[in-house]
Amino acid sequence: MTERERVTLPNDGRCKEELLEEMQGMRAHDARWQDGKTWSMIYHPGEEHHEFLKRAHNLFFSENALNPMAFKSLKRMETEVIDMTASLLHGDEHTAGTMTSGGTESILLAVKCYRDLARKKKPWILRPEIVAPQSIHVAFDKAAHAFGLRLKKVPLGPDYRVDVRRLHKAISRNTIMIAASAPQYAHGVLDPIEEIASIAEARSIPFHVDACFGGFILPWLEKLGYPIAPFDFRIPGVTSISSDIHKYGYAPKGCSTILYRNMDYLKHQFFAVTDWPGGIYVSPTLPGSRPGSAIASAWASLMALGETGFMQLAHDAIKTTEELRYGIEAIAEFEIVGSPECTIVSYTTSPGIEDFSIYGIADFMETQGWGVDRQQLPPCIHCSVNAFNANQVRPYLDDLRRAVAYCRSNPGTDDAGNAAMYGMMAKLPSRRFVKYSVLRVMELMYAPGKVDFDFEELTADEGSVLSLLNTYGRKAINALTEFSALEKLFRNKR
């Protein structure tokens, strides 16, 4: 953790060219997404489109969608973005919605909407609940925490889809909404949307489909002939859908949508205050000021690519996904987690592999310059695949084979670095310990004057599980493994 003096404003403004050069230098250690070695966070359709979006973004650099009557151009573009997204997701002339800053805001708004709807129609519910799969996006945890709801998570089946029977059983008189994923991010599988929607419709419960990842890729894959199960407004019980344009809609970060079947739902998303000294205040989404540049660049991205452009990008992305998936399956030491139905590939070590872990593989891959997303439950590596990753599939697979050889010839790889940390976290019997540890890391990372963070600087008096790892290493992991096994045995006997 690097300590430094607090930065203050310079007395005189610095040279703009020098500042730009310094900012460029700051990027030296950032993820190398430009060369296709990052398998998440960035969705890049090509340099020409990238440069075009910068121009579209800058045309509305200063505009503010806080007041749609002041900037009618932004309201028109937002309306047309919603129209295009609704058409893609089989909405009709009644489908309504807004743009948002991202999938988390879209999900927060859906939860807020259904909470307020329940307050109006079912005021006797004092402890409102959301029923959703264990794999539902963490934005629902955040929304439940923020809006005072209980999130009831339903276990997954062996195919990593939610167990519909147990989901049905989890619904109670306090349930104000049901949610599911198309697809869920961790493993790339679609929950059984039609079955869940049938239950929701029969119980008159709003049903939200989180298609933040899939909303702008699944429709094109379906048109390409891939067997994508219906997940959108074609299904009567679906009442809302979230879909990110800054993923496979190829807009800059800060562009998502939340759509409702009709205005009877959307109107509960709005917020208004009429007795503020500053005047009457009304907001369709969570922020007050809304950057016009995000709305403009999202509109420009959809209009510039069109159906032909999206179909080509979807074709290239799914072919790249298949090449990656088949390549990983051809390596005996790995297996794919679940049966992904889109452009997600998650993989782990094959059964019987005990001389190294997937986290040791992840650490080696990072040393080769790859961006690596580690997951848990089960431990695996996650890749979100784009067309621009195509040229990096073979080098990636080559490095995976090298990773196996390296981990086998260096048995201690799982005892150090991120591999040790993630391995220990996965084996902790209490997730409260994990939560405490990661919050402590955030506290240290965002402390005044701190820039970088190094896990090695954690000490035993931090009271952190991470410090326990640094102090006792493999002994701590083995002890926790034995403890977990004993706990499981005790539970089975009960």
Quick: pLDDT tens for 118-140: 999 999 999 999 999 999 999 99
Structural domain ending residue among the three candidates 303, 320, 345: 303
Task: Tell whether 184 is covered by a domain.
Answer: yes
Residue 408 and residue 465 share a domain: no
Q: What is the mean pLDDT of residues 447-459?
A: 58
| DSSP letters spanning 253-264 | SS-EEEEESSHH
Q: What is the pLDDT of residues 151-202, one digit of tens each?
A: 999 999 999 999 999 999 999 999 999 999 999 999 999 999 999 999 999 9
DSSP β-bridge partners for residue 175 = 129
Q: What is the pLDDT of residues 264-299, one digit of tens each?
A: 999 999 999 888 999 888 899 999 889 999 999 999
Range with top average pLDDT, 79-83, 386-390, 451-455: 79-83
CB 246 within 8 A of CB 215: no
Task: Tell whether 48 is covered by a domain.
Answer: no
Residue 250 and residue 274 share a domain: yes
Residue 493 confidence (pLDDT)? 56
420 vs 7, more confident: 7
Domain containing 271 — which CATH number? 3.40.640.10
Residue 184 and residue 279 share a domain: yes
100 vs 454, more confident: 100
User: 3-state SS string over 449-464?
Assistant: CECCCCHHHCCHHHCC
**Which are the contacts of 98, defined by CB distance < 8 A and separation ≥ 6?**
78, 82, 109, 257, 258, 266, 269, 284, 285
Residue 394 and residue 436 share a domain: no
Query: Is residue 475 over pLDDT 80?
Result: no
Residue 32 confidence (pLDDT)? 75
Rounded Cα distance, 326 and 323, in Å: 5
Task: Tell whether 254 is covered by a domain.
Answer: yes
Structural domain ending residue among the three candidates 239, 268, 303: 303
Burial of 63 (0-12, 13-18, 19+ CB in 10 A): middle
Residue 7 confidence (pLDDT)? 84
Hey, what are 370's tokens? 């790859």
Task: Tell whether 178 is covered by a domain.
Answer: yes
Task: Tell whether 47 is covered by a domain.
Answer: no
Task: Tell whether 4 is covered by a domain.
Answer: no
265: Cα separation from own chain's centroid: 25
Rounded Cα distance, 95 and 238, in Å: 12
Residue 445 confidence (pLDDT)? 62
Q: What is the mean pLDDT of residues 338-360?
A: 92
Q: What is the mean pLDDT of residues 327-349?
A: 95
Q: What is the mean pLDDT of residues 63-91?
A: 92
C-alpha dist (Å) from residue 329 to 25, 252, 291, 335, 360: 39, 33, 44, 6, 19
Domain containing 388 — which CATH number? 3.90.1150.10
Terminal Cα-to-Cα distance of the chain (whole angstroms)? 46
CB 285 within 8 A of CB 105: yes
Residue 198 and residue 86 share a domain: yes
260 vs 281, more confident: 260
Task: Tell whether 175 is covered by a domain.
Answer: yes
Residue 460 confidence (pLDDT)? 45
Residue 248 confidence (pLDDT)? 96
Residue 336 and residue 283 share a domain: no
Query: Is residue 234 over pLDDT 70?
Result: yes
Query: Is residue 230 over pLDDT 60?
Result: yes
- Domain residues for the domain of 394 are 307-415
Q: At what angle do helices 465-472 and 431-445 cross, to 10 degrees?
A: 90
Rounded Cα distance, 453 and 324, in Å: 33
Residue 444 and residue 329 share a domain: no
Q: Which range among 5-9, 59-63, 326-330, 413-417 shows the weakest confidence by mean pLDDT?
A: 413-417
6 vs 384, more confident: 384
Residue 1 confidence (pLDDT)? 45
Residue 287 and residue 262 share a domain: yes
Number of structural domains the chain divides into: 3
Task: Tell whether 11 is covered by a domain.
Answer: no
CB 363 within 8 A of CB 376: no
Q: Kind and range of the H or E element at 344? A: strand 344-349
Q: What is the pLDDT of residues 355-396, one digit of tens each?
A: 889 999 999 999 999 989 999 888 999 999 999 999 999 999
Residue 470 confidence (pLDDT)? 53
Query: Is residue 241 over pLDDT 50?
Result: yes
Average pLDDT, the chain: 88
Burial of 108 (0-12, 13-18, 19+ CB in 10 A): buried
Rounded Cα distance, 190 and 214, in Å: 9
| DSSP letters spanning 104-169 | HHHHHHHHHHHHHHHHHH-TT-SS-EEEEETTS-THHHHHHHHHT-EEEEEPB-TTSSB-HHHHHH
Residue 411 and residue 433 share a domain: no
Rounded Cα distance, 212 and 450, in Å: 33
**Greatest CA separation for the chain:** 72
Query: Is residue 400 over pLDDT 80?
Result: yes
Query: Is residue 466 over pLDDT 80?
Result: no
pLDDT level of residue 105 (50, 70, 90 thresholds): very high
Structural domain ending residue among the three candidates 303, 328, 354: 303
Residue 251 and residue 226 share a domain: yes
Residue 122 and residue 190 share a domain: yes
Phi, psi (degrees; rounded to nearest 5) at 259: -115, 145
Residue 292 and residue 387 share a domain: no
pLDDT level of residue 422 (50, 70, 90 thresholds): low
Residue 5 confidence (pLDDT)? 77
**Which are the contacts of 259, defined by CB distance < 8 A and separation ≥ 6?**
82, 85, 86, 89, 91, 95, 96, 97, 233, 240, 241, 242, 243
